[in-house]
Structure 1
Amino acid sequence: MLGPFARIRGAVGDESGLRHLGNPLGEQRALASGAAIAPLGDRAVLAVAGEDRLSWLDSLTSQALTRLAPGESTELLVLDPHGRIEHAASVLDDGETTWLIADRGDADGLLSWLRKMRFRLRVDPQDVSDEYAVLGGTRAGLEAVLPAAPAGVPLVWTDPWPTVAAGGHAYALVEPHPGTQRDWAEAIVPRAEEERAADAAAAGALRLAGLSAADALRIAAWRPRWANEVDDRALPHELDWLRTAVHLEKGCYRGQETVAKVHNLGHPPRRIVALQLDGSDSVLPAHGDQVFAGDNAVGIVTSAALHFEEGPIALAVVRRNTATDARLVVRTSDGDIVAAQETIVPPEAGATANIPRLPRLGRRAG
């Protein structure tokens, strides 16, 4: 749904929002440099009011939240009893309300679960997406918009990825991590501010980028997302999500036992890898396309994009024991695509410590 951005010349969208404005690669470049912002129509905004909100969310989720300061950014996961990811959200508190930014496809399920878990605590979770929109970009780029600040704290969530948060743990062994090159924040804005941004863009006073550009930058940063990388078996370890979304030393929560057991004693059964795709046929795989090593299906593509510097890239989740030097092929409806893999989560992740760091592969010419 394009909403107020439908009137902008060249806008192309679908049910998730504005996909691009005719120049996805140029939009990536502008978005990464802070010269554009991206309307994130595929996000929803939940607000949790009430005196018990932070301790309540702390007890239910993977993140330590009881001491979250107003304006501080973090993220959380809701896990099932077996440690599998059910929901994910970006988190920001303004001193009176905790604000959650969730993928739109996850928001209803997350809200329903939170409401079931209220018991007699002083908490009131609500979906406020009719009142608020989400705009993304660099922190400098978002200075072009006025975020909501109902309690005096601007509602701008700064992505902690790929910093290892307090209580977190990194499995990716590559230095420097490609996510360090991505400056990303998301502003919660009133719908009236979204309209103003659309008017400014239509008048040529504000440059926009689409969801395709935002997703390409995310994939290049190896940043997992609920809408793409999570399925009904996903463990946070498999996606290197212990880095920013899991506090390994906090109190009990649902799924904690599995998180600790896999991290300390075992290995996650699958692992996320980055793929550099053969771009000679200008074909990108779709979400769910199978990845093969020889004749064996070893995983699936979760996200893919044409990056303005790296060319065709993807993220995939493969079996843990897939050889790190295996020649991989992605099977698509338009033919096979040869892929070179770059290890994100190594096969030894979990019980093994002190693994040597690895250099990054060379970047392609833009």
Structure 2
Amino acid sequence: MTVLEEVHAAHEATFREVGGRRVVDTYGRPERTHRAVRNVVGVCEFGYGVLVVTGADRVEYVDNAVSNRVPDADGQGCYALLLDPQGRVETDMYVYNAGERLLVFTPPQEATALAEEWQEKTFIQDVDVRVATDDFATFGVHGPKATEKIASVLHQAASPEAPLSFNRGELGDVGVSVIRTDNLAGEESYDVVCAAEDAEPVFDTLVNRGLNAVPFGYRTWETLTMEAGSPLFDTEIEGHVPNELGLRNALDFDKGCYVGQEVVSRIENRGHPPSRLVGLAVDELPDAGAAVFAGDEHVGEVTRATNSPMREAPIAMAAVDWDLPDAALTVRVDGEGVEATRTDLPFVEGSAVSARLPSYE
């Protein structure tokens, strides 16, 4: 569950389950909060699962398991995927080299199974994997003033500049690691990681000290990432081949073999995948899974949809056939065809571009 339920409740938060973890849904007025994040800066507590990987062979072991190159330098990280033999995503993750250990951030529901799988496969390698989800709290800081916000409260360190790099410093008297993240909301972004017992003063500092920041929950996070064109694990990524998602930031095509690598490389070498993610402007809000048609031909499905606060209209992401027929698009809403217009991603341009913005070559 959230580390700070009573604190969030004092801010009039409502809660929901995400990946089996209780998180803040909204603090009320989510559209107003959304605009505040887009215009200035906001703070959200994220419910990651966390693994700690130690041992002399930790970097080599994790690097051999995932789709991207795991950095061997302290203070550096990567976004990576764990694939099955068919090249489909079992989980995504962020892997950070923290000196004598790797910190692996996963969707909360994936951490335990991943730790068990990796620990069972270490054989004679010097690797130890444990679940440490309850040891840490993580707060995302997003918005065009996010860098200014971090600079106003971080001591003993500068704000990290390179994506997925981190610096160690202090917020007040509390030690933290500040990660420059990959702009999934389409804005400047950081994660602030601290020990779980230090979460309350860190959250208070981020919201109330220096440049003030609005607290926001997962409902706002989902509308922000949707406007930014960022695929998310639960709605777009899980179970799909990464080529279809345009997740080039998660793939190192020059690294050695890993499970699923042959499938990914084969699709890459033949020119394009069979399907791709696109943005749709729609007249009415469809449900996830709604069928997309080009004329009378079924060409895909909606992965998720929302009412965009910035566009003041419904928007959707859909997985559709690569070669769409030259015909008007419609989406099924309550059994009826509703007009849909393919729209370039991102739907809204913010202060930064999401590293997960689908890219096809």
**TM-score (normalised: structure 2):** 0.77
> Closer, same or farther in 2 for the Cα pair 1:118/1:333, shift >3 Å?
farther
Distance 1:206 1:315 in 2: 29
Equivalent residues in 2 for 1:62-81 (5 A)?
Answer: 62-65=67-70, 67-81=71-85
**Alpha-carbon deviation of 1:328?**
2.6
Q: Is the 8 A contact 1:4 1:195 kept in 2?
A: no
CA deviation vs aligned residue, 1:155-185 (integer Å, no higher than 9, x gap): 33333468xxxxxxxxxxxxxxxx8x52223
Q: What secondary structure sits across from 1:101 in the alignment?
A: strand
Q: Is the 8 A contact 1:71 1:155 kept in 2?
A: no
Distance 1:275 1:73 in 2: 33
CA deviation vs aligned residue, 1:192-244 (integer Å, no higher than 9, x gap): 33223556799897530111222222122222221111243x111111102x1
Distance 1:9 1:154 in 2: 23
Q: What secondary structure sits across from 1:155 in the alignment?
A: strand
Distance 2:106 2:213 in 1: 26
Distance 1:287 1:273 in 2: 14
> Closer, same or farther in 2 for the Cα pair 1:333/1:18, shift >3 Å?
farther
Distance 1:52 1:304 in 2: 43
Q: Is the 8 A contact 2:207 2:214 kept in 1?
A: no
Which residue of structure 2 aligns with residue 357 of structure 1? none
Which residue of structure 1 aligns with residue 330 of structure 2? 329
> Closer, same or farther in 2 for the Cα pair 1:40/1:24, shift >3 Å?
same
Which residue of structure 2 aligns with residue 208 of structure 1? 215
Q: Which amino acid in structure 2 is aligned with residue 69 of structure 1? A: A
**Alpha-carbon deviation of 1:153?**
9.4
Distance 2:182 2:9 in 1: 34
Q: Is the 8 A contact 1:285 1:330 kept in 2?
A: yes
Q: Is the 8 A contact 1:299 1:318 kept in 2?
A: yes
Q: What secondary structure sits across from 2:234 in the alignment?
A: helix
Q: Is the 8 A contact 1:10 1:22 kept in 2?
A: yes
**Alpha-carbon deviation of 1:340?**
1.3
Deviates more, 1:8-17 or 1:152-161: 152-161
> Closer, same or farther in 2 for the Cα pair 1:157/1:68, shift >3 Å?
farther
Q: What count of residue pairs does the alignment treat as equivalent?
A: 321
| Pairing partner for 1:158 from 171, 180, 193 | 180
Which residue of structure 2 aligns with residue 285 of structure 1? 286
**Alpha-carbon deviation of 1:6?**
4.2
Deviates more, 1:114-123 or 1:87-96: 114-123
Distance 1:106 1:238 in 2: 22
Deviates more, 1:256-265 or 1:68-77: 68-77
Q: Which amino acid in structure 1 is aligned with residue 322 of structure 2? A: R
| Pairing partner for 1:236 from 238, 242, 253 | 242
CA deviation vs aligned residue, 1:125-160 (integer Å, no higher than 9, x gap): 22211111221123424565899959x995333334
Which residue of structure 1 aligns with residue 44 of structure 2? 38
Which residue of structure 1 aligns with residue 62 of structure 2? 57
Equivalent residues in 2 for 1:350-361 (5 A)?
Answer: none
Distance 1:80 1:318 in 2: 22
Distance 1:226 1:307 in 2: 20
Q: Which amino acid in structure 2 is aligned with residue 45 of structure 1? A: V
Which residue of structure 2 aligns with residue 14 of structure 1? 16
Q: Which amino acid in structure 1 is aligned with residue 299 of structure 2? A: V
Equivalent residues in 2 for 1:132-281 (5 A)?
Answer: 132-138=136-142, 139-140=146-147, 141-142=149-150, 154-160=176-182, 181-197=186-202, 207-232=214-239, 234-242=240-248, 244-278=249-283
Percent identical residues: 28
Which residue of structure 1 aligns with residue 300 of structure 2? 299
**Alpha-carbon deviation of 1:63?**
0.7
Distance 1:298 1:207 in 2: 40
> Closer, same or farther in 2 for the Cα pair 1:22/1:238, shift >3 Å?
same
1:97 paired to 2:119: no
> Which residues of structure 2 form unaligned runs of 5+?
156-165, 346-358
Q: Is the 8 A contact 2:43 2:207 kept in 1?
A: no
1:25 paired to 2:28: no
Distance 2:7 2:327 in 1: 44
> Closer, same or farther in 2 for the Cα pair 1:115/1:13, shift >3 Å?
same
Q: Is the 8 A contact 2:43 2:206 kept in 1?
A: no
> Closer, same or farther in 2 for the Cα pair 1:335/1:304, shift >3 Å?
same
**Alpha-carbon deviation of 1:48?**
1.4
1:121 paired to 2:125: yes
* Greater percentage in strand: 2
**Alpha-carbon deviation of 1:75?**
0.6
> Which residues of structure 1 form unaligned runs of 5+?
163-178, 354-366
> Closer, same or farther in 2 for the Cα pair 1:337/1:194, shift >3 Å?
farther
Q: Which runs of 4+ in 1 moved over 6 A?
A: 145-148, 200-205
Q: Is the 8 A contact 2:168 2:178 kept in 1?
A: no
Distance 1:328 1:184 in 2: 35
CA deviation vs aligned residue, 1:310-364 (integer Å, no higher than 9, x gap): 23222111122223x64333324486543211356xxxx97xx6xxxxxxxxxxx
1:338 paired to 2:336: no
CA RMSD of aligned residues (A): 3.2
> Closer, same or farther in 2 for the Cα pair 1:201/1:51, shift >3 Å?
closer
